[in-house]
Amino acid sequence: MAGPAGVGAALCSERFGSQAARGCSAAADGSLRWETWGRRWWGGAGAAPGPAAPPLPRLLTVFLPQGFPDSVSPDYLPYQLWDSVQAFASSLSGSLATHAVLLGIGVGNADASVSAATATWLLKDSTGMLGRIVFAWWKGSKLDCNAKQWRLFADILNDIAMFLEIMAPILPICFTVTICISNLAKCLVSVAGGATRAALTMHQARRNNMADVSAKDGSQETLVNLAGLLVSLLMLPLVSDCPSFSLGCFFLLTALHVYANYRAVRALVIETLNEGRLWLVLKHFLQRGEVLDPTSANQMEPLWTGFWPSLSLSLGVPLHRLVSSVAELQQLAEGHREPYLLRWDQSQNPNKESWVIVKETHRVLDKLFPAFLKGLQDAGWETEKHQLEVDEWRATWLLSPEKKVL
């Protein structure tokens, strides 16, 4: 400063993250005086000296990422609210299922064998472990590409698993097989749910704050599960002596769970293209000459696995799947400078004019792709990365090292 400031003169302003700005001015005694120029409802840590912030905003900072809402995607809050609802419903359903499994194993039954119960439990766990390994190998690479669909699939499968656990004591002859199948389903849920949660956290974190977003998501889930535990302590004594009432409560909670999950994944607006969103955007562009924005495309995207258009698209395939002779290879690469080879699969789509179709496709792409790419960028899509399922096969041409098969 050049010299002493006058009393009441504004000296500077500052803000903490996305909170309202506050101004600093000189007081009569020479101290600094702080004045808030507006307040946001979520408050936050790091507030200026002075009156304490309301307890509710300070409590929210325990469960929200630092810098909220600017540090996360715009769909963070609606997704997390519905995710909390589904977690609460799932916690209550899980209590009913656990109660049923413990009854089936023999807890409270003086005639039950500890060795038999232990063997059943170990068999149940080992079945789930093997299933987890096989499922991760089989579908692991697909979970990122369709995170919303697999997330919804995982939660519905979890409901099916809990239903089997509730029904297991009713069929004591098939009890062991039933809970083994149930635990197998739950292990698939843990793989799909954990992997898709990581993918969605990556989408929501906007300041390289994946760890913070993930940690606060865990805090939210812990709080919800704690509330579910307290409600379960009140609910179980009421339903334990009435299996039909217990089953009715389970179906009601399951309906809430499925609905909340649907609303949660529908609230997500992912700005990267996967196969389903690319199909919608490209179809709209070819029909109307304009690119759908991410919000519209995400609202139209099917959420049930297997219900999007059956387009057989393979990226990064081995060369022998494209050509079987030198003549075919020359014909396929002739006259094209793109860093990929495009081939119509004649085994699935028999067509004598396949080479003509490929050449015409290249011609159309050369004409339309620049406008399509610019439309994607203008509409808000991320074009530097994608969520298409691409295999690891690549080929380098000795005479043209820059050309690769993608």
The pLDDT averaged over each successive group of 10 residues in the chain (406 residues) is 57 74 80 70 44 58 88 95 96 92 68 70 86 88 88 94 89 85 92 92 93 94 95 89 87 96 96 92 93 95 66 82 80 70 69 73 88 95 91 76 50
Check residue 45 and give its pLDDT. 42
- 240 sits in which H/E element: none
Hey, what domains does the chain have and what are their CATH numbers?
Answer: 1-40 (no CATH), 76-267 (1.20.1250.20), 275-303+310-379 (no CATH)
Check residue 41 and give its pLDDT. 45
CA distances from 6 to 28, 35, 36, 48, 321 (A): 9, 16, 20, 22, 80
Check residue 46 and give its pLDDT. 42
The C-alpha atoms of residue 245 and residue 341 are separated, in whole angstroms, by: 61
* Rounded (10°) angle between helices 243-267 and 76-105: 150
pTM of the full structure:
0.81
- 33 sits in which H/E element: strand 32-36
